Structure 1
Amino acid sequence: MKRGTVTATNCATSGNIAVLAQNKYPLLIGLILVRAIDASLTYYGLSVGLREANPIVVRVIEALGVIPGLFFLSSVSLVLLLFLGEYLLPGVAQSRHNINLWSNVAYLSVLIVWSAVSLHNMVLIWI
């Protein structure tokens, strides 16, 4: 392996990491949108006769009602995620670059999972 090739690879990798570390706000907006879509699809699914499979969500909906329960769960999940990404990870990471990188990796990972859940709800509704 040539030394120049390694340098080029390291520059490209560090550039990608820098881009991921800087793009926090689009990820946060995406998380909020995906939570709103998931809550809307859950509400619609419940209104057409589907049942919620998550027992925690069922208990909260029974206690608070459908719309307040879904709003509460979406809000709590977003606040917990922001707490994790902005306050817990800084205690683990040392430099600000690492904090931004790891919080954005966490946000991106959760965005992918929540998007898959919303897609699953959409498939269940329209089948």
Structure 2
Amino acid sequence: MRIIVLAILFVVATTNINAQSINPQEVKVGDVLEIGRPDAPKFKHIDFPRANFIIKKGGIANYKAVVGNKVVVTEVKEKKDGTLVVRIKKADGRRFFNSHPVVEADLKEALESGELSVL
């Protein structure tokens, strides 16, 4: 009897987890996302500029400051190889690092790694 109850709970839990995952095709222009903490020391799937380019444009190269920022999708493109690339800007209208208004991100990979999350 316990095994049957545990099996049913396991099935219900796995279906709930799968139901909460978002399909990258569902993200459209105007959706609000949040920048999360990267798995690696640097962001892999959000194409932030390197520190020397940020400094050349008069910005402050602090990648930890962007974690938790709300961003808005301004453009969704599909590359020839099938990957979805989105252009994002900060929701408050300010620039990333006080130098770059818009950055690009690989949507599917960024959502899977936790660098971006849908609100």
| TM-score between the two structures when normalised by the length of structure 2 | 0.37
* Bigger fraction of residues in strand: 2
Bigger Rg over Cα: 1
| TM-score between the two structures when normalised by the length of structure 1 | 0.35
* Bigger fraction of residues in helix: 1
User: Could you say which structure has the greater relative contact order, defined with CA pairs below 8 angstroms and 6 or more residues apart?
Assistant: 1
